[in-house]
Structure 1
Amino acid sequence: MVSQIVSAVGVMIVGVFVCALYYWLSDKVLNLALPVRDGDVTQASRNLNRRAVIRPWLFLGPALLLLGIYLVYPVIATFILSFHDRSGETFVGLANYRWAFFDAGFRQSIFNNILWLAVVPAACTFFGLVIAVLTDRIWWGNIAKSIVFMPMAISFVGASVIWKFIYEYRGASDSQIGLLNALVTALGGDPQVWISMPFWNNFFLMVILIWIQTGFAMVILSAALRGIPEETIEAAVIDGANGWQIFWKIMVPQIWGTIAVVWTTITILVLKVFDIVLTMTNGQWDTMVLANLMFDWMFRGGGDSGRSAVIALVIMAAVTPIMIWNIRQANRDAGGH
């Protein structure tokens, strides 16, 4: 353990040294290539302008190269792979796309993703906003916010294991160790295998992500609420507005941009949801989503790189527009362009 820590620290020190050395050397080379001499004012001015243009690209060069290798190249390779067979060697044209269009499992995954998109972002944003408003002006508000935010510190797999115990089912004649079934039986009902109930089991899985992400929405929206000018709320109170009217007609319109950013951020996360479904049901009982379907086609049953590539491209096509809008909206809220 100690050797691993020492090794990690050593790598970080070497990495920082190499980066600093690169920036110093590249700046030196640039200054030598475009010198500024006192004798020729016009040439000196031209070289200074050239330095100003080249230097940012020179410093960003390594990062852009790494982004190209690890982001752009995989996208291109995946697109090419989508036109090949399961081995990735034989060109099959649009066969994989035709399979996706007619495959029942793919359509079920699309439906489940749409279901997640319709419920999770809305629920997280709504609960986050309500909690942020309710805890904004009470003395124990920060304690409540800390408790709500705590699930964010848990991994999706860890949270799924926790909720698997909550949904746990034992035989009808056995004592129920699952919290939900224990409550149901205590109230005189019959225990249920909650995560194997088609259609409804999707909502039981969504609860896990809502439980995790509500804290994120609450923190962002709470910060936005703090930015609302007190004068507008005081003016509304003087005009006779009640709490409900202040919330919907004063607060929400002023933080609508932040609400949209939170909504779209969670939407991107939902489009990529994988861990929860894998841990809870492994995609069984009609709970399969696109990311899990892609994983199954790529790594199980011998693998099919062509079909998995098509699914990956569908996920990317769904995420990219939302991500671009999200970045633009965040820049606009921050006063950028």
Structure 2
Amino acid sequence: MASVTFDGRSGRPARVARALLALAALGVVVALLWWSVGFLADPLATDRAVSRILGLLGADASAEAVASRGLTPASRKLGGAGVALLVGVGGVWALFVTANHAIDTVFGDKVREQVRPWLFVGPAVALIAIYLVVPTIGTIRQSLTNRAGEFTLAHYRFALTDPAMLLAFRNNVLWLVLGTLGSVVIGVGFAALVDRLKREALAKTFIFLPMAISFVGASVIWRFVYAWQPTNRPQTGLLNAIVTGLGFEAIPVLSISPLNTVALIVVMIWLQTGFAMVIFSAAIKSVPGEVIEAARLDGAGEFTVFRRIVVPMIRGTILTVATTIFIAILKVFDIVWVMGRGGNFETEVVATRMFKEMFQFQNFGRASALAVILLLVVVPVMVVNIRNMHRQGVGA
């Protein structure tokens, strides 16, 4: 059999041609995606597209009718949704396929493996930069300038000295301490208890069920629970019905400070306990049974086993869950706004005050300063969480 040899230089034009074709295909996909963005941004683009399609199909009368009167709002929305779905699924898929092919044909082996990860990570990094980093920088800048664009610290002075803001910070501290501690402690307790039940899945379902309810929905439910009527009227709220049934006087829970804030925190604990229980239950199941049995053989009681063995071995999970709930509580808005009817001064937190400064008082500098303060509080918590994950071997 005759041997066939290939000259590397003779294959170079073919490789260049393949690379050019791959880059051209990538350019076409990018151009189509860019066009689709403009299409979705134009409210009349769907009308013009339908009119042109009808004209190409020979339906001139229908095309003129659409061009003159336009589509119905429902048809326009359906057309935009169809284009968005096509672009979001097919367009992104085509972008990754063509970009991956371009990397294979343009770069060598060493460069290829360094560039390819950025193909998949790059869009996410770009979106984070556009929608998080850039607005964050703008918020910080706005918090340090007045309406005339001059540098000032007046917004932070207001946030740290105004009586209303000090009350909001006090309420936030109550939320963070009681809400986080309550969710974690009750979640650990439930996780340890349901682990011993025969119908564990059923019990977990009922405890986890509040997680399926939105914060607004939970707030509406608990407004009925806390509902109060004067003494001479029948009580419609579950809590006051129980209180009056026991012979005591009805309590206007949402009108007494700081009891109203504590009552709102109970709603958050009710919502977050199921999440904490599921995570803690998985962590408890990962504790080696041999260690627990050895402790029992040494005479340790169940509470001692739980306190001295189980809790220390799931300490990392407890810290992770606690920081997650801490961040969620720090940003709490829905419960306070709905149950306080949007204007209860005594239950205000930083997030609701920020909303008022931004949208009711049109004071964007103060609202930006409050947003920056929340960001500064979250950063150390995130650092602790990341270090805890590194200690557990996550991302190491």
Q: So what's the TM-score if we normalise by structure 1? A: 0.90
Counterpart selection for 1:157 from 198, 210, 216: 216
Return closer, same or farther for 1:293/1:189 CA change in 2, 3 Å cut-off: same
3-state SS, counterpart of residue 321 of structure 1: helix
What is aligned with 1:292? 352
Q: Does the Cα contact within 8 Å between 1:113 and 1:271 map onto a contact in 2?
A: yes
Matched, 1:129 2:204: no
User: Residues 261-287 of structure 1: CA distance to partner in whole angstroms, max 9, x if unpaired?
Assistant: 111110001100110000111352421
Return closer, same or farther for 1:16/1:331 CA change in 2, 3 Å cut-off: farther
What is aligned with 2:122? 61
What is aligned with 2:279? 220
Q: Which amino acid aligns with 1:71?
A: L
Matched, 1:269 2:310: no
Counterpart selection for 2:260 from 177, 189, 201: 201
What is aligned with 1:232? 291
3-state SS, counterpart of residue 347 of structure 2: coil
3-state SS, counterpart of residue 286 of structure 1: helix
Count of residue pairs the alignment pairs up: 322
Give the whole-Å Cα distance in 2 for the aligned partners of 1:285 and 1:296: 11
Q: Which amino acid aligns with 2:355?
A: F
Q: Does the Cα contact within 8 Å between 1:169 and 1:176 map onto a contact in 2?
A: yes
The runs of 4+ residues in structure 1 deviating greater than 6 Å are 1-7
User: Residues 4-55 of structure 1: CA distance to partner in whole angstroms, max 9, x if unpaired?
Assistant: 7897576344322222222222233333432xxxxxxxxxxxx321221122
Q: Which amino acid aligns with 2:257?
A: P
Give the whole-Å Cα distance in 2 for the aligned partners of 1:185 and 1:230: 48
Cα deviation for residue 144 of structure 1 reads 1.4
Return closer, same or farther for 1:314/1:51 CA change in 2, 3 Å cut-off: same
Give the whole-Å Cα distance in 1 for the aligned partners of 2:159 and 2:352: 15
- Larger RCO, structure (CA 8 Å, separation 6 or more): 1
Counterpart selection for 1:48 from 103, 109, 112: 109
| 1:1-337 aligned within 5 A | 11-34=84-107, 47-85=108-146, 88-281=147-340, 282-301=342-361, 303-337=362-396
Tell which deviates more after alignment, 321-330 or 17-26: 321-330
Cα deviation for residue 60 of structure 1 reads 2.0
User: Residues 80-101 of structure 1: CA distance to partner in whole angstroms, max 9, x if unpaired?
Assistant: 111233xx55325112122222
User: Residues 152-204 of structure 1: CA distance to partner in whole angstroms, max 9, x if unpaired?
Assistant: 00001100111100110112211110111111111121112111101121111
Q: Which amino acid aligns with 1:295?
A: F
What is aligned with 1:41? none
Q: Which amino acid aligns with 1:24?
A: V
> Sequence identity, in percent?
41
What is aligned with 2:52? none
Q: Does the Cα contact within 8 Å between 1:148 and 1:214 map onto a contact in 2?
A: yes
3-state SS, counterpart of residue 123 of structure 1: helix
What do you get for the CA RMSD once the two structures are aligned?
2.0
What is aligned with 1:39? none
Return closer, same or farther for 1:133/1:94 CA change in 2, 3 Å cut-off: same
Return closer, same or farther for 1:9/1:249 CA change in 2, 3 Å cut-off: farther
Give the whole-Å Cα distance in 2 for the aligned partners of 1:10 and 1:329: 44
**Unpaired runs of 5+ in structure 2?**
1-73
3-state SS, counterpart of residue 299 of structure 2: coil
**Unpaired runs of 5+ in structure 1?**
35-46
Give the whole-Å Cα distance in 2 for the aligned partners of 1:141 and 1:4: 46
Q: Which amino acid aligns with 1:309?
A: S
Cα deviation for residue 257 of structure 1 reads 0.5
Q: Which amino acid aligns with 1:63?
A: A
